[in-house]
Chains A and B, each alone.
Chain A
Amino acid sequence: MAALASLWQERLYGLEIIRFLETHSSLVLAEGTIYPILNRLKAEGLLTSEWVEAEAGHPRKYYSLTEAGRQRLRQMAEAWTSFSGGLSRLLEPVLEQQEKPQ
């Protein structure tokens, strides 16, 4: 889900996705983990990829969301938000209790 979400705005290549997740969500992925996941998401038709020549001297593989990927991400976002909202309400008293003097 996080990998899909990082591509919501624009196409990115693998290393950019890793950095994007680190800066925007403090999710730290092992470098070797993201590529097999991207490969699978592409096989499922949620992502497409293209090789783009870069100034670095070698081409990079950019990923972007397909229409199916956008739909799936929207569904996941809705499910996640309603789940985490419920959990937050459940946890509210726990945090309040902590702040009360014993």
Chain B
Amino acid sequence: MTVETQFDSYLTALRTHLGPLTIAEREEIVREIAAHVRDSAEESGASVETVLARLGPADELAAQYRDGLLIRQASRSISPLVLLRATLRLATKGFTGIVVFFCSVVGYSFGVGFVIVAFAKMFFPTHAGAWVQDGRLVAAGAFVYGYPTQAHEVLGMWIVPLGLILGSLILLFTTWAIRTSLRISQRWQSRL
């Protein structure tokens, strides 16, 4: 492959992998990288090939831009899907990321769980609730096959507002915690 086509194919690959960005942003990045390659080759006397190797593969370079965008969008978003995607990306980058992802999944599950129980109680009162036997909580939640017969139910219909409020609070807190973690992760990176 000649130098010129190698250069062009690098820029084409970069453009392709920058897909999620706006066209204006993408073209600006490609233009900047192209200028860098020319300047760097000229200044150091290295071949275009060497400079491209120093830049790293086009897809990895593009991934750094995409991660930045993903985390930036997510730290302003409230959508669980967007937030989970960003934490999943963070999880690929180190142990702290894995912990953040795990906590996010647990947080969302609990929040959604409480809300489901509240709704289940409204529509299938005998299948949802909290049951106590011998002073211990033996079952709580929504059950397809009804409740444990030996135990007696506590809370009654109060579990509806309780589940809704607790569930919403947990979901709100999870959202807040993920957004804060994403911001902190960005700050960490910017120490460089």
Contact = CB atoms under 8 A, between A and B. Distances in A.
Nearest to A60: B35
Interface residues of B, number: 30
Interface string B61-104: 10011011100100000000000000000000000000000000
Given A31-B54, A36-B61, A61-B32, A15 B192 contact: no
Given A32-B54, A40-B68, A15 B32 contact: no
A36 to B, nearest CB: 4
B36 A36 contact: no
* Chain A interface mostly: helix
B72 A1 contact: no
A4 B54 CA distance: 23
B152 interface: no
Interface stretch (B118-126, B134-142, B158-166, B183-191): B183-191
A8 interface: no
A4 B189 CA distance: 13
B39 A39 contact: no
B56 interface: yes
B40 interface: yes
B72 A56 contact: no
B51 interface: yes
Contacts of A35: 29, 32-33, 36, 61, 65
Nearest to B71: A40
A14 B40 CA distance: 10
A90 interface: no
A31 B72 CA distance: 23
B59 to A, nearest CB: 11
Nearest to B72: A43
Contact of A31 (B34, B55, B64): B55
A29 B60 CA distance: 16
Contacts of B69: 43
B61 A14 contact: no
User: Lowest 5 A-B CB distances belong to which pairs?
Assistant: A36-B64, A32-B56, A40-B68, A32-B55, A31-B54
Interface of A: 1-4, 13-15, 29-33, 35-37, 39-41, 43-44, 56, 58-61
